[in-house]
Amino acid sequence: MDVIEFLGNTQKKNIKNSIQQRIQEKLKDYEKNLKRRQRRLRDLLEADYIQYNEEILWLINERVKESFQKRIEWLNMQRLERERAEVELLKLKQQQRELENCEKWRHYQTRELLLETKESQLYQIEEKKMRQENEKLIEDMWVTVMDRVRKEREYQEYYESKLRHVISGLDQEKNQKISQEFKEMCLLQSNQLKQESQAESQRFAQLDARKRKDEKLLDVMKKQQQTKELEQQILENSQREYCLKRNELTEDLKQQFVDNQELLNDLQEREKEKIRNNEWHKCYLAYCLNEKRDKIREEAEFNELYRGTGCVLVANKKQPYSKAQSSSKDLTFITSAMSELSRRPEYGTMINIALYHTVDVFALKLNVDISVENVSFQSARYEAFTSVHKNEGWLGGFTPPEVLG
């Protein structure tokens, strides 16, 4: 009995040990298979992660290259715009230089040039604003994409950690269920992200359309305001030019009036001087005439007093023929000297009067009759004076006494 029990127990122990050994072998095989699968899954995940990073880097490089190319194109466009602006400026300056001598079309062409310049400036300002807005929109979109990539990376890391935790378990059904739920969740999230991106793109499109509409309205208002300002500026310039021309015309009229007034005053002064010289000469002639009359009256009284007494008061001196010739020669010499001196205008009217009466005094010394009755002497003297003054052309306000009567 004891032997049978011992053998039975021994057999049971052997069976139990063999079962445990097989279980241990199966567990080791399962653990090896699990580690192999984990290693394979890790390699696959690392390969996917590396590929994903490479794609992200490629996209980033493409974006950087695209932005760099856009900046280069923008710089080229700016350079071309500057060159075009310089050419337009040179053309504008040349047109302004050509229009300096054209007064008929100056206002019209100036207005057209101003309008074109303002429109080009407005277009450049609008283009600059649109470029800045596009760059800002691209930067915002780039920030949004980077945020989305960061979120996806975080979610991927979370998913990997969770997947590792799930794989480390022994329940295959639970792992399958979790993987199915994860796939459904990923699909749901991808659909949600698509819907959000579509809604965001629609919202951006609406905002862009509204912004363009507002920009067009603002451009129309700015153009109207610019047109009004240009018209006001042109009107002010025309009024300013009219005022300047009117002031210049007024100054010219004033200057002409002053010149005419000065000329009139000068003529009046000359007339007054002539009248004054004539009056003085008349007074002098009247004085000489009174002196002669007084002298004749005194001689007549003296003769009347000694008449009938037999006294010889005055003896007429007879001149020889040679003396008479010398007297006529002296008179001719005086006349020639008077003509020579009268050619010098610096002596004026007074030298004419002095010469005129010097001839009389010299003739009296030569015992030449200078009375009015001596027609030959008076006519010779008058002809000498008139010929001299007519030839020289400067009477100077002097009039011989015979002309005055």
Using CB atoms within 10 A of its CB, is residue 122 exposed (0-12), middle (13-18) or buried (19+)? middle
Task: Spell 205-216 as b/e; 16+ CB within 10 A means b.
Answer: eeeeeeeeeeee
> Most confidently modeled of 47-51, 156-160, 252-256?
47-51
Residue 304 has what pLDDT? Answer: 78
Span 71-121, pLDDT tens digits: 999 999 999 999 999 999 998 888 777 766 666 666 777 778 888 888 888
Residue 41 has what pLDDT? Answer: 93
DSSP 306: S
Q: Read off the pLDDT of each residue in 161-182 and give the average, rounded to a whole number.
A: 67
Of the candidates 190, 147, 187, 181, the one whose C-alpha atom is nearest the C-alpha of residue 163 is 181
Span 319-364, pLDDT tens digits: 444 444 444 555 555 555 555 555 555 444 444 555 555 556 555 5
Alpha carbons 62 and 56: distance in angstroms, whole number: 10
Alpha carbons 348 and 82: distance in angstroms, whole number: 79
8 Å CB contact between 313 and 303: yes
Residue 37 has what pLDDT? Answer: 92
Break the chain into its structural domains and give their ranges.
Answer: 2-170, 317-405
Confidence band for 32, pLDDT divided at 50, 70 and 90: very high
Confidence band for 405, pLDDT divided at 50, 70 and 90: very low
Residue 260 has what pLDDT? Answer: 80
Of the candidates 337, 328, 341, 342, the one whose C-alpha atom is nearest the C-alpha of residue 380 is 328
Residue 322 has what pLDDT? Answer: 47
DSSP string computed for 172-231: HHHHHHHHHHHHHHHHHHHHHHHHHHHHHHHHHHHHHHHHHHHHHHHHHHHHHHHHHHHH
Residue 154 has what pLDDT? Answer: 84
Span 108-123, pLDDT tens digits: 777 788 888 888 888 8
Alpha carbons 244 and 322: distance in angstroms, whole number: 84
Say if residue 5's pLDDT is above 50: yes
Alpha carbons 364 and 292: distance in angstroms, whole number: 13
Lowest mean pLDDT among 160-164, 202-206, 369-373, 392-396: 392-396
Span 180-219, pLDDT tens digits: 777 787 778 777 877 887 777 778 778 888 888 888 888 8
Residue 45 has what pLDDT? Answer: 92
Span 124-137, pLDDT tens digits: 888 888 888 888 88
Model pTM score: 0.22
Residue 367 has what pLDDT? Answer: 55
Alpha carbons 338 and 384: distance in angstroms, whole number: 9
DSSP 345: G
Alpha carbons 97 and 306: distance in angstroms, whole number: 105
Residue 376 has what pLDDT? Answer: 58
Residue 80 has what pLDDT? Answer: 92
Say if residue 17's pLDDT is above 70: yes
Confidence band for 397, pLDDT divided at 50, 70 and 90: very low
Say if residue 393's pLDDT is above 50: no
